[in-house]
Amino acid sequence: MPGGESHARLKESFRRLDLHTVCEEARCPNIGECWREGTATLMILGDTCTRGCRFCAVTSGNPGGVVDPREPEHVARALSQMQLAYVVLTMVDRDDLDDGGAEHVARTVALTHQRCPSLLLETLVGDFAGRRQDVETVVRDGQPDVYAHNVEVVPSLQRKMRDARCSWERSLDTLRWARQAGAKVTKSSLMVGCGETAQEVLDAMAGLRQANVDVLTIGQYLRPTPKHAPIERYVDPSEFESYQQAGMQLGFKFVAAGPLVRSSYRAAEAFLKGALQSGRSTRNAVADRYGKRRLEVVNQ
């Protein structure tokens, strides 16, 4: 069960600052471990997703185009008050918005970098309905340290587990576009135990490497409620070990594989912390530009 001084402090801070965490919304089993280590995953653009995947516990519905324009500054200010080393900014899918929320994500990242220059930021984002320009907005205007998008399951299980508006091909395109737009590190995640074969997992890993994905996490699917897709099997730890070894042989920079591994997982983040300590001058220039834009708006 989650607990400890750090967990209690972060939980109180998130409540006080009215911030949503996917750690809580998605009922992640690692919440205690990650929060004790100073990592957290914030969810922006509200807490209602326009898609309804069969594995996800986040509320599904239609937000009606409502966005809090103060949220980017609110998140940046809140994070500047917390003792965190690595933060994942994730989002609900917002098919009700013309750009899927891309500009909002980019502005949140840039302003956070401005206030917290030493904080490492990962963006775990949706597919933006297959619009390349929206992917490029997040990469070029936000300059996240890591660009992440999850394929979730092997190709044969996409229709069974994901919303009909998602697809394997679109997800791979999203990751390719991010790299081509200048993303320093790209990352994705697979769930197993959903009915796939071991060979399908290996083939999916090869496909991700062909899209130049750098970091991969592989974990056991756990059913969040009885209404969600059932677990087909519990994968043996030795099989996770074989996936990790195969992934490194395929050329991934890092693979975290295990029963409780999730997309936001401190083992992968520990690796990324050590690999992402350079290239901040360009990012800070982008943050400064967003800061000046905000001052201009206030002055007007």
Domain boundaries, the chain: 5-187+264-299
Distance CA 103, CA 136 (A): 10
pTM of the model: 0.85
Mean of the per-residue pLDDT values of the chain: 85
3-state secondary structure 105-172: HHHHHHHHHHHCCCCEEEEECCCHHHCHHHHHHHHHHHCCCEEECCCECCHHHHHHHCCCCCCHHHHH
pLDDT in tens, 201-259: 999 999 999 999 999 999 999 998 899 999 999 999 999 999 999 999 999 999 999 99
Distance CA 110, CA 291 (A): 8
Which residues in the chain come in under a pLDDT of 50? 278-279, 281-282, 286-287, 290-300
Query: Parallel, antiparallel, or unpaired: how do β-strands 254-258 and 86-91 relate?
Result: unpaired
Q: Rg of the chain over CA atoms, in angstroms?
A: 18
pLDDT in tens, 31-56: 666 666 666 678 899 889 999 999 99
